[in-house]
Amino acid sequence: MVYYVLMGLFDRFLTNQTPQDNVDVKASLAPFTITEAIYNQIGATTATRSAALSIPTIARAHSLISSTLASLPIEQYNKFSGAHEEVNRAIAQPDPRVPGAVIYSYIASDLFMYGIAYGQVMDSYSISDGSRVRAWTRIDPTTVSPELNNDQTEIIGYRVRGLQVPNSGIGSLIVFNSLADEGLLNRAGRTIRAALELEKAAEMYAKEPVPTMVLKSNGTNLTPERITKLLESWKVARGTRSTAFLNADVELQALGFDPAKLQLNEARQYVALELARACGISAYFVSAEMTSMTYSNATTERRAFIDFTLKPLLVAIEKRLSMPDFVPSITTEVRFDLDDFLRGNPLERAQVYEILNRIGAMSVEQIQEEEDLIR
């Protein structure tokens, strides 16, 4: 036995044969989200979803982003002809138990908050070149943990609530990766925590609208029982009247600052603007700044909202739904329909229709159909 071991070691060091590396291209391109592996190791402060949504600015931004995206119609197009195709059922209504808008609102929320979203395949059917998703539902990202290879560079599998899930077929995960975004809870953790502390301070001053007060005895030391009774009687008296009377033995001292001196309102306004920036949304939409908004620049703001706030989320979802497990990716692509959201006022639309009809680009019937005038 010793002989064979020694000969094996001898052959290993003296042979000139170069080992052949079998590279699996699909495996080498497996996604790896750096949020958990790197972001938290550099001292970043993260926040929780419930804490973030308790802040009015984030709650408003989150509602606008998730509800607006969920309300947009999803269309399938032929890449070559541009013609509309019937939308796959797994795309129009992923989970047969709930409307499709519910699933996509949560997917948008997860991408916005965590920088990644997950779906789990509920049903699938076989086709000639593999399998295709028939039904799927959203999975909470906090319940998903990726399994990495030995080099910690690639994801080779997933666990949901600690249980291993298959890499394909029923039970496997559908991963929606954000466009190089760690998610609001990671990149704005400190700002969220600062906003929470300001909300706590505002709540404290709402309960106790005066600076911290100290009753100082100028006479003999009082027993703990007498101190407790004195404080209780002071609190009850202040609840019934604002004027107080103290005898020569007790002195009132005020410590700290009132909200005006603390500039609490100014600090909350500043943090609201910072959170609007972190959310990638105009301060106008979350009422973080008081500006006069006319119809013309309100329409411009809606377009900016699509281009600079929703676009990364829209592209992340569109590109994932355009992959082969949902549609024939060679010929078909999936896109959100933005026409209704960005359509102008009736006068603007009438002017555009008039020009398109005059040059022969649209018929009267097409214009009536576009304006839902044909029943």
- Are residue 246 and residue 314 in the same domain, yes or no? no
Question: Taking 70 as the threshold, does the pLDDT of residue 17 lie above it?
Answer: no
- Single-letter amino acid code for the residue at 110: D
pLDDT band at 370 (very low <50, low <70, confident <90, very high): confident
- pLDDT tens for 114-173 read 999 999 999 988 776 667 899 999 999 999 998 888 887 788 899 999 999 998 889 999
- Are residue 114 and residue 184 in the same domain, yes or no? yes
Q: CA 357 to CA 366: how far, in whole Å?
A: 9
- pLDDT tens for 40-70 read 434 445 888 999 999 999 999 999 999 999 9
- Are residue 235 and residue 284 in the same domain, yes or no? no
Contacts of 129 (CB under 8 A, 6+ apart): 324
Residue 85 included in any domain: yes
| DSSP secondary structure string for all residues of 177-198 | E-SS---HHHHTHHHHHHHHHH
Question: Taking 80 as the threshold, does the pLDDT of residue 231 lie above it?
Answer: no
Q: CA 90 to CA 124: how far, in whole Å?
A: 9
| DSSP secondary structure string for all residues of 213-248 | EEEEESSSPPPHHHHHHHHHHHHHHHHH-S-----T
| DSSP secondary structure string for all residues of 265-330 | HHHHHHHHHHHHHHHT--TTTTT-S-----HHHHHHHHHHHIIIIIHHHHHHHHHHHTSTTTS-TT
- State the angle between helix axes of 100-114 and 56-71 in degrees (0 to 180), rounded to the nearest 10: 140
- Are residue 241 and residue 225 in the same domain, yes or no? yes
Question: Taking 60 as the threshold, does the pLDDT of residue 34 lie above it?
Answer: no
- Are residue 219 and residue 83 in the same domain, yes or no? no
Residue 15 included in any domain: no
Contacts of 323 (CB under 8 A, 6+ apart): 329
- Are residue 95 and residue 182 in the same domain, yes or no? yes
- Are residue 243 and residue 110 in the same domain, yes or no? no
- Are residue 267 and residue 202 in the same domain, yes or no? yes
- Single-letter amino acid code for the residue at 28: S
- Are residue 218 and residue 204 in the same domain, yes or no? no
Q: What is the pLDDT of residue 23?
A: 37
Q: What is the pLDDT of residue 22?
A: 42
Residue-number span of the structural domain to which 231 is assigned: 212-255
- pLDDT tens for 259-299 read 555 556 777 788 888 999 999 888 888 876 655 555 456 66
- Are residue 70 and residue 114 in the same domain, yes or no? yes
Tokens, residue 14: 């003296």
- Are residue 217 and residue 90 in the same domain, yes or no? no
Q: Taking Cα atoms as reference points, which of 148, 146, 120, 117 lies closest to residue 133?
A: 120
The residues with which 332 forms a beta bridge, in sequence order, are 78
Structural domains counted in the chain: 3
- Are residue 202 and residue 301 in the same domain, yes or no? yes
